[in-house]
Amino acid sequence: MTQSAANFSDLGLSPQLLATLESIGFEAPSPVQAACIPVLLDGHDLVGQAQTGTGKTAAFAIPLLERIDPEIKKTQALILSPTRELALQTVNAIKTYSAHIPQIRTAAVYGGQGYHIQFADLARGAHIVVGTPGRIMDHLEKGSLKLNFLRTLILDEADEMLNMGFIEDIEWILEHVPDSHQTALFSATMPPPIRRIAGKYLVNPQEVTIKSETLTLDTVEQLYWEVRGLTKTDGLIRILETEKNLDAGIIFVRTKTATAEIADDLVKAGFAAAALNGDLSQQMRERVISQLKGGEINLVVATDVAARGLDVPRISHVFNYDIPDDGEVYVHRIGRTGRYGRTGKTIIFVYTREMRNLRGIERITRQPIIPMRLPSRHEVTESRIQRFAADVQNVINTEDLSFYSNVMMRITAEKEIDPANLASALMFMAQKTRPLQTGGEDPPPSKLKYREPTDKMSLNHRDKRDDDFRRPRREKSEMRADDIEMIRCRIEVGLNHGVQVRDIVGAVASEGNIPSSQIGKINIFENHSTVDIAHDRAPSVMNLLKNTRIRGVKVQIRNDDSTSRDVPPPSRNRPEKERKSFRDRKGPPPRNKRRR
């Protein structure tokens, strides 16, 4: 199915949502949004195949908000996410899109957070609940989450949930929701188990497939800074002060307010900068662009909407101060550099919680985005000294300094001051408004393995590992389990509970909030299992898993301090014993054909 829409207004959205989308800089719907929003607004079930970074969250969140009745203070929409990070990211996106509909309440439920917080959020009447499968099941069992008024169910990143061993949990949840509701399933790939779920639980679904094409951006060097230790603005200033070959740059932010605030900070730091946003008159907009083209200003802080159609050949750098939610927006942004036969550079500022967005952008562009190291205080100081020395040399070469030389000689003679001390005092006075020496502290060292890119590597060459975007690149912080010191943990659930390796991987990776690369060997015995976990992560994982379940059994986990390593029993071809988890005790309700 295909759908085209030049503007969000073409999709029949409410004025409140249109106002919000305009204020956050959404120009036009991406392909997945244009295709999915009308289908979901019409109430149809939907199967969407689209990569992370295509604007998928907005594709289901926008129509979902249109279908919510704020007056009914009951859960009307449920979104299942594979990880707590994605759940929180989705909640934040929904809160952004519903800025002009403040009556709508949203709650996130996931393992590792205290139940009392989530009980309170649900009791207040959350219209939209976003959560991981295990914690959603817990709340359904406890009765703290009721779905009697459910209108929409979203399965986000279904293939990821399959990989993490959540498919049985998802099916249990699907069996416990009301028959009459709308279901949308989104997945980057469509393996047979996902197809089976779609065929079993969705009613006459519309199918939308968005294929991402390889985008040619070989003239643009792409880097990211993981924001830590300093504010984004302080980091931006350090980068601007040390960046070589910076002719002119655009700094992209989400809001109009941010454009003015950041431009003001840059001017105070000594940069020629200006804001470009939708509140500027056409005359003021043209003036800013003219100043940028003519070299009167070198930096423009802009929203995506305000920068529409901006074409300035001298733009050498694009800074993504706020990472875009949509990979196509990113491509539009960085397309403003590396043009007319020139090379360019783009730097993304990304918080740890936004790394999923970054990986999604990599999959969309089919190109690696390389981690960069923030310049140190020493490097910034050296850069300032070099600029100061260049300015001094320029004055010596271009100005008549005879009067000032006479004054210097007079002062040194009358005050008996050493010429070097006098020069130092004058230098101190000259740099008072913009000190040569950098203050503050350097952020703690990152665990990321930085690569200092060469022109050949960053612009025209990538090795085979960088071209494989089926999974994120593994940095130093995500070493193989073989390379990491491990602690063996014992979990009191085993073969007699029907447990499988994927159940343990799913629980530890999602509820324990660590990558699967930091999970080592797993042994499953009759009544318990052991799992090797990275030494520095094991204590927090054990603490987080105390509030979760595996195969319906509440997790009891501790250090496995046995002196001899257990050997798991040999594989046996026998049927699993009857499970005694709550999901089997209750049993799924008889299913009736759903009718709308």
| pLDDT of res. 424 | 82
Identify the CA nearest to 41 among candidates 60, 21, 17.
Answer: 60
Residues 367 and 454 in one domain: yes
Is 559:488 a contact under the CB 8 Å cutoff? yes
Residue 248 Cα to chain centre, angstroms: 27
Q: Note whether 158 and 25 are same-domain residues.
A: yes
Position 565 in a domain:
yes
CA distance 221 to 369: 8
Same structural domain for residues 128 and 82?
yes
Q: Output the pLDDT for position 469.
A: 34
Asked whether residue 589 is assigned to any structural domain, the reply reads no
Q: Is residue 591 part of a domain?
A: no
* DSSP letter string, 394-439: HHHHHS--HHHHHHHHHHHHHTT--HHHHHHHHHHHHTSSS-SS--
Interval 190-194 mean pLDDT: 90
Q: Do 453 and 382 share a domain, yes or no?
A: no
> For 579, which DSSP code?
P
Q: Given strand 557-559, what is the order of strands in its sheet? A: 519-524, 529-534, 486-491, 557-559
Expressed as residue numbers, the domain containing 416 is 378-430
Q: Does any domain span residue 398?
A: yes
What does the alpha-carbon distance between residue 232 and residue 322 come to, in Å, rounded to a whole number?
A: 9
User: 42-46, 238-242, 306-310, 422-426: which has the minimum mean pLDDT?
Assistant: 306-310
Mark whether 235 and 311 lie in a shared domain. yes
- Name the pLDDT band for 432 (thresholds 50, 70, 90): low
Nearest-10 crossing angle of helices 84-97, 355-365 = 90
- Note whether residue 588 is domain-resident: no
Higher pLDDT, 110 or 447: 110
Q: Which residue has the higher pLDDT, 347 or 457?
A: 347
- Per-residue pLDDT, 203: 93
Residue 291 sits in a domain whose CATH number is 3.40.50.300
The reply to whether 176 and 47 lie within a common domain is: yes
Q: Is 475 inside any structural domain?
A: no
Q: Kindly indicate the confidence band of residue 288, based on its pLDDT and cuts at 50, 70 and 90.
A: very high
Judge whether 573 lies within some domain. yes
- Same structural domain for residues 506 and 392? no
594: in domain: no
504 and 525 share one domain:
yes
One domain for residues 451 and 534: no
Distances in Å between the Cα of 71 and the Cα atoms of 18, 101, 532 are 21, 12, 49
Residue 72 and residue 195 in one domain = yes
Enumerate the H helices of 269-414 as residue ranges: 282-294, 327-334, 355-365, 377-398, 402-414
pLDDT at 325: 77
CA-to-CA distance for 469 and 212, rounded, in angstroms? 12
Q: How far apart are CA 489 and CA 486, in angstroms?
A: 9
Token pair for residue 355?
């790394």
- Number of domains observed in the structure of the chain: 4
Task: Find, among 194, 134, 112, 131, the residue nearest to 160 by Cα.
Answer: 194
pTM above 0.85, yes or no: no
The DSSP bridge partners found for residue 7 are none
Q: Residue 127 in contact with residue 104, Cβ under 8 Å?
A: yes
Does residue 294 share a domain with residue 426? Answer: no
Q: 361 and 261 in one domain? A: yes
Burial of 305 (0-12, 13-18, 19+ CB in 10 A): middle
Identify the pLDDT of residue 448: 55
